[in-house]
Amino acid sequence: MNLEIFWNQQIGFPILTLLIFLPVAGAVSLWMRKDLRGARIEALILSLVELALSLLLFPFFASGVSAMQFVEYVPWITPLGISYHLGIDGISLFLVILTALLTVLTLIYSWDRIREHLREYLICLLILEATMIGVFISLDLVLFFVFWEVMLIPMYFLIKIWGTGPDRDYAALKYVVYNLTGSVLMLVGFIILYLNYHDWAVQIRGLEPYSFNYQRLLHAPVSFEKQLWIFALVFLGFAVKGPVFPFHTWLPSAMLQGPIAVSVMLSGVKLGSYGLLRFNLPLTPEASQVAVPVMMALALIGLIYGAFIALSQPNLMTMMAYAGISHLGFVTVGLFALNQIGIEGALLQMINLGVAGAGMIFVVAFLLDRRGSFNMHDYGGLAKRAPLLATLSLIIVLASLALPGTNVFIGEFMILAGVFKVSALYAVIGVTAVILGAAYLLWMYERVMLGKIEKPEIAVMPDLNRREAVIAYTLVALILWIGLYPAPLLSRMEPSVRAVVDRLEKQELPLNPVVRIDPNNPHAYLLELLSHSETAPAVGVSEGSVK
């Protein structure tokens, strides 16, 4: 059962639109601004309001149902079936909140770090936030694609203009080329899906012939051959964004050359895995099942490969990039376990790794600001000078290596337990990465934080200032909270994941009844839906088999 619950049934204002357009409006108003100090404050306040808004979703969110919630629907380009269609479910809820949170933390971090083109920098960050949130809440494929592509623009400028590395031009270009290539392939996949829908819809009375509506597309049966095409093309798009091995080499260079803000967002917001979960698994369930061995192979190679490179890396930021690639392998492995616990673990892990991954980047950033170097051999003995930094970063390190009691452990355990049901071999390979993770992270910690202070620069290094402490404490609190009490997250994720799993297991279409949505009277739509009992066949859909 997969209903849509409209915003006016849950909350008094179109909250999702607000979530997208508040940062955009903020960006416009910043553009007009003259004084820089005011711009900084305005951006921070805006992002805080945005975070508060996203947190508002949490109490109003109806747990226990897989429905899309806070839905907004306005026809946009009707002849082509394109609509402005937004909604949130258990899959996207926490990703939106996390994105808003990381934006706030990034702005706090950037407070006195960015001096050149400050206003443009803030604009880029806000636009980036708007597009990422847009990606998570779009239920129309074209709308999704627009956000997905527009996102590249602020990212490109961020890397290119505010990047710290000498090769930032190359890194920015590489980022765009990789991602454009991926997203074009994805678009082709979407178009095939769209055409397939059309072929099906024209045979059924009362359906609009064209639709990019995600909910609609879920109904159209897709032949196995087409599923393979769609799966492959869409996967490539998300694999690049992920990044999944071997499409990952843009990430280390973007993180190394780009500014900290970019690294935080790239390692904190898991757009690629979200895409796999939202589109690949439910839209092409059969192809997903066939693809499992390939997906597992890629994910596990990435998992081990990234860990081994991280093991040999003296450069902190590069190490974090490869650690991120390795961690993302875990998420992908969990997704393609294709069972409840694996997928739920993977979804939780997207949040967990967002928190822990961003935490690691901030730690590296704090180091960089103090010493101006990414080379871990330039450090040593920091614990003596900066006990708070050492303690908080230890907790973040421990989370990253999945110590029980921290959030990452829960996700990792769920993922591996899910994978184990598929194949013991995959799980055993995954477990070996647990060893490697401990090795590279602790060696890193040892070299940077522990030991005698031998460099004069370290001897005068300050501990965390108040802004930095706020960032670190926030992330540490999240790490421990989710690690010890993940129930509030898991209980909201479960129904939505269950809906995906049902689709995968029963291979039964449609996922939800097809009804016409009257944008002027959404209540009627809901009533109509509710009037059908859950077992009644969906309107207009009688032969729901896949082939």
Partner 1 sequence: MVIGVDFVWLIPAFPLLAVLINGLVGHRLSERAVSVTAVGSVGLSFLVASATLVQVIADPAPAVTALFTWIPGGDLVVEFNALIDPLTAVMMMVITGVGFLIHAYSIGYMHGDSGYARYFTYLNLFTVSMLILVMGGNYLVMFIGWEGVGLCSYLLIGFWYERTSAIKAGTKAFVVNRIGDAGFLVGLFLIFARFGSLNYSDVFSRAGELSTATATAITLCLFIGAIGKSAQLPLYTWLPDAMEGPTPVSALIHAATMVTAGVYMVVRNHVLFDMAPLSLQTVAVIGAATALFSATIGLVQYDIKRVLAYSTVSQLGYMFLACGVGAYASAIFHLVTHAFFKALLFMSAGSVIHAMGGEQDMRKMGGLAKHLPKTATVFIIGAIAIAGIPPLAGFWSKDEILGAAFKHGAPVLWFMGLTAAAMTSFYMFRQVYMTFYGSARMDHDVEHHLHESPNVMIYPLIVLAALSLLGGLLLGFPPEEGWIHRFLGPVTGAQAVPAGRQEAHAIGAIDYILMGLSVAVALAGWMTARQIYLKKPETAGALASRFATAHSVLYNKYWVDELYDATVVEPSKGLGRVANRFDDRIIDGIVNAVGNLTQAGAALSTGFEKYMIYGLLNITGYANHIAAAILRKIQSGQVHHYAALLVIGIFILVNLYLWFFDNTTVALLLSRLSLNGGN
Give, as ranges, the residues between 367 and 386 that touch partner 1 (CB under 8 A): 381, 383-384
* 178 forms part of the interface with partner 1 (CB under 8 A): yes
* 341 forms part of the interface with partner 1 (CB under 8 A): yes
Kindly state the smallest distance separating residue 516's Cβ from partner 1, in Å.
21
- Report the distance separating Cα 376 and Cα 319, nearest Å: 10
Q: Which two tokens stand for residue 35?
A: 């004084």
Q: Indicate which single residue of 41, 180, 297, 459 sits in contact with partner 1 (rule: CB under 8 A).
A: 180
Residue 201 phi, psi dihedral angles, 5° rounding:
-70, -35
* Mutual angle of helices 407-422 and 340-371, in 10-degree steps: 140
Secondary structure of residue 85 in the 3-state scheme: strand
Place of tokens 């710290």: 164
The DSSP-derived string for 111-150 is: TTT--TTHHHHHHHHHHHHHHHHHHHHB-BHHHHHHHHHH
Kindly state the smallest distance separating residue 515's Cβ from partner 1, in Å.
24
# binding residues, partner 1 (CB under 8 A): 92
Closer to partner 1 by Cβ: residue 24 or 184 = 184
Kindly state the smallest distance separating residue 528's Cβ from partner 1, in Å.
29
* 33 forms part of the interface with partner 1 (CB under 8 A): no
Q: Indicate which single residue of 130, 490, 511, 529 sits in contact with partner 1 (rule: CB under 8 A).
A: 490
| Measured CA distances, 176 to 155, 157, 191, 257, 304 (Å) | 9, 10, 22, 14, 26
Q: Indicate which single residue of 155, 218, 497, 515 sits in contact with partner 1 (rule: CB under 8 A).
A: 497
Which among 5-13, 75-83, 353-361, 534-542 is the span making contact with partner 1, rule CB under 8 A? 75-83
- Report the distance separating Cα 193 and Cα 197, nearest Å: 6
Closer to partner 1 by Cβ: residue 292 or 434 = 434
Using CB atoms within 10 Å of the CB of residue 463, give its burial: 0 to 12 exposed, 13 to 18 middle, 19+ buried. middle
Closer to partner 1 by Cβ: residue 58 or 443 = 443
What separation, in Å, do the N-terminal and C-terminal C-alpha atoms of the chain show? Answer: 22
Q: Which positions from 253 through 312 interact with partner 1, judged by CB under 8 A?
A: 305, 308-312
* 487 forms part of the interface with partner 1 (CB under 8 A): yes
Q: Which of 390, 369, 347 is nearest to 94 (CA)?
A: 347
Closer to partner 1 by Cβ: residue 46 or 346 = 346
Which among 59-67, 358-366, 493-501, 524-532 is the span making contact with partner 1, rule CB under 8 A? 493-501
Q: Which positions from 465 through 484 interact with partner 1, judged by CB under 8 A?
A: 484
3-state secondary structure 211-255: CCEHHHHCCCCCCHHHHHHHHHHHHHHHHHHCCCCCCCCHHHHHH
Q: Indicate which single residue of 340, 393, 400, 407 sits in contact with partner 1 (rule: CB under 8 A).
A: 340
Closer to partner 1 by Cβ: residue 70 or 197 = 197
- Report the distance separating Cα 27 and Cα 32, nearest Å: 9
Q: Which positions from 85 through 144 interact with partner 1, judged by CB under 8 A?
A: 117, 120, 142
Which among 275-283, 333-341, 356-364, 536-544 is the span making contact with partner 1, rule CB under 8 A? 333-341
Residues 398-437, one symbol each (x = binds partner 1 by CB under 8 A, - = not), give x----xxx----x--xx-xx--xx--x--xx--xx-xxx-
Q: Which positions from 448 through 467 interact with partner 1, judged by CB under 8 A?
A: 449-453
- Report the distance separating Cα 80 and Cα 327, nearest Å: 39
Residues 517-536, one symbol each (x = binds partner 1 by CB under 8 A, - = not), give --------------------
Q: Indicate which single residue of 22, 122, 127, 176 sits in contact with partner 1 (rule: CB under 8 A).
A: 176
76 Cβ contact partners less than 8 Å away, ≥ 6 residues apart: 82, 83, 84, 140, 143
Kindly state the smallest distance separating residue 327's Cβ from partner 1, in Å.
16
* 203 forms part of the interface with partner 1 (CB under 8 A): no
Which among 13-21, 64-72, 193-201, 532-540 is the span making contact with partner 1, rule CB under 8 A? 193-201
What is the rounded (10 degree) CA torsion for 79, 80, 86, 92? Answer: 160
3-state secondary structure 262-308: HHHHHHHCCHHHHHHHHHHHHHCHHHHHHHHHHHHHHHHHHHHHHHH
CB 216: neighbour CB atoms within 10 A?
Answer: 24
